[in-house]
Structure 1
Amino acid sequence: MQDTRINKLIEKCASGEPKEQAFALQELVKMKADSAVPVILELLHSSDEGIRFCAAEALGDLGENEIESVGCALINLLVDPKELVRSGATDSLGILAYKPARDSIESLLLNDSAPLVRASAAETLGDLGDPDALDTLKSAMQDPDEAVRSYAANSLGLVGKPDLLPQLQTYIESEDSLEVKAELLAAKYRLGDTEAMKSLLTFLENADEDLATVMLNILGDLIDRKIPLTITSDASEICQVLNLLEKRFPLLAHHSQSIIAKLAVLKSQSNQV
């Protein structure tokens, strides 16, 4: 039954009708139908920018088993005339951790005219995890766009080493954006500055709802990727601040509780070691 459904969706991909193709791509991703990858690769050549974008996104979810052909095809898409498509291809290369894309992604971060694409490139360099991208990420900390600097700061924490800590502090002192400062503090914490968590929590205690939302995402990321060794020892203090945050911003309660739950799991696992 499932194979029949997948085959029908693949037929829709070849229909030439963008609405049918977009629906089919979404459904194929939900069904984890990696057998559709060859057909999806063809859609990267669609005349419809929305379909090229959707196909690039789908390949990020389904392309792992055909990583070389998918990776090369996505790299070719990085010169697409539409910024949405370039951004989607960049994101998928990061999801697939396709390391041969690093040079092309660095070039986008330094040279692309679209902030959306540069932000995707900054994020993807963190996903690729190659320390050779450090100089490019440092350059991106001078980008005029706040989102680009935020993603670059996050990626510095993912690919850097503790010797980067003084440079991160310099960035904090010269940065006007509170969101970027928060990302830089999280990067410092990842790289071993245990005091950075206290500064992060002070930020959170005084944040408005928009900044608090950003900071919840930052805390969630710290729990999900390159987890700092000290986060379990800081868990109680983090949870205390999160519980207070919920009283100020009830709409953030679900997000806050999901972080508290993940911290509880990490703490339980550390106690079992």
Structure 2
Amino acid sequence: ILGRWGLTKGFGRLAAALSGDPKRIKATQATVWYPSARVVPALLAALKDKDERVREGVSKALELAIDARATGPLLAAMKDQDAFVRARAAGGLGQTRDTRAVEPLIAAMKDEDKLVRMSAAWALGDLADPRAAASLTAALKDSSDAVRAAAARALKTAGGPRAAGPLAAALGDKDTSVRKCAAEALGLFGDARVCEPLAAALKREPDAKVRWAMTVALARLRSPHAIEPLAAAMKNADPYIRSEA
């Protein structure tokens, strides 16, 4: 009830209940209805709970509770020994839209845990700050497929023209998600120079979803250099690819 009413005087009881047994699960559910940055420190602490149901509920509550006022607690949580806490904190920092988070997130791109690196890449994409371009570009060579895909996605907003070359190279990545995200990013840059690598990648691409993304990217470029590969795409057996071409 306290959570649904959102009464500020109920905050202390909810925060205390998060550490109480057996009230933790109900308290976590209540915080979902209590989207206040004041509850963030208690939620971050509850990410270490032994009960998976509590951790899942806390993750959902964090998504609703975060705003710019949560930056301080989230930055502190980035130094936590628990990788899951660091990862959730990184993701939360992206939601704050607070540029103070950019440098700590760039540092987190070198975290030993791939989940943290992936979350940091997503957050940097949400913040869309060009300071992250170099770190995200380097992450296109990360050992984790998920991190490389997150970096390619983030470069859509944080990369800028200098990221075009590394993203074009990522069109040959072994992971389909990385290739798809790279194609989507290149289509947003509006740089006609990427037509050639996109067209070449489209010819050899085995995955239908990635071919579709490459076709969309070529169409968005609106370049004369894209006419030939788009004309070829008009003969593709996939109706979705033909419609985009």
Structure 1 length as normaliser, TM-score? 0.65
Cα distance per residue 1:63-106 (max 9 Å; x no partner): x2x31x20011111111111111000001000110210111111
Say yes or no: does 1:55 pair with 2:85.
no
Task: Say if 1:186 and 1:201 are closer, same or farther in 2 by CA, change over 3 A.
Answer: farther
Task: Say if 1:107 and 1:198 are closer, same or farther in 2 by CA, change over 3 A.
Answer: same
2:140 aligns with 109
Cα distance per residue 1:160-194 (max 9 Å; x no partner): 42343233212111222222211110101111158
In 1, are the aligned partners of 2:90 and 2:123 still within 8 Å (CA)? yes
Say yes or no: does 1:36 pair with 2:70.
yes
What is the RMSD computed on CA atoms of the aligned residues?
Answer: 2.9
Say yes or no: does 1:189 pair with 2:225.
no
Question: How is 1:137-152 mapped onto 2 (pairs within 5 angstroms)?
Answer: 137-152=167-182
Which residue, 179, 197, 210 being the options, matches 1:167? 197
Per the TM alignment, residue 127 of structure 1 is displaced from its structure 2 partner at its CA by 2.0
Which residue, 153, 172, 175 being the options, matches 1:123? 153
Count residues in correspondence: 205
In 2, are the aligned partners of 1:168 and 1:188 still within 8 Å (CA)? yes
Instruction: Give the Cα separation in 1 of the matches to 2:159 and 2:134.
Output: 13
* Paired letter, 1:166: E
Per the TM alignment, residue 153 of structure 1 is displaced from its structure 2 partner at its CA by 1.1
Per the TM alignment, residue 199 of structure 1 is displaced from its structure 2 partner at its CA by 4.4
Instruction: Give the Cα separation in 2 of the matches to 1:17 and 1:32.
Output: 15
Cα distance per residue 1:21-79 (max 9 Å; x no partner): 875564243144321210111111111111111111111111x2x31x20011111111
Computing the radius of gyration from Cα coordinates, the structure with the larger value is 2
Which residue, 31, 36, 40 being the options, matches 1:10? 40
Say yes or no: does 1:72 pair with 2:106.
no
Instruction: Give the Cα separation in 2 of the matches to 1:197 and 1:18.
Output: 55
Instruction: Give the Cα separation in 1 of the matches to 2:207 and 2:44.
Output: 46
Instruction: Give the Cα separation in 2 of the matches to 1:14 and 1:149.
Output: 34
After the TM superposition, which of the residue ranges 177-186 and 3-12 deviates more from structure 2?
3-12
Work out the percentage of aligned pairs sharing the same amino acid.
25
Structure 2 length as normaliser, TM-score? 0.72
The runs of at least 4 consecutive aligned structure 1 residues that moved more than 6 Å come to none
Per the TM alignment, residue 147 of structure 1 is displaced from its structure 2 partner at its CA by 1.5
Per the TM alignment, residue 10 of structure 1 is displaced from its structure 2 partner at its CA by 3.3
Structure 2 unmatched ranges of 5 or more:
1-5, 12-33
Instruction: Give the Cα separation in 1 of the matches to 2:134 and 2:170.
Output: 15
Question: How is 1:211-250 mapped onto 2 (pairs within 5 angstroms)?
Answer: none
Instruction: Give the Cα separation in 2 of the matches to 1:43 and 1:151.
Output: 29
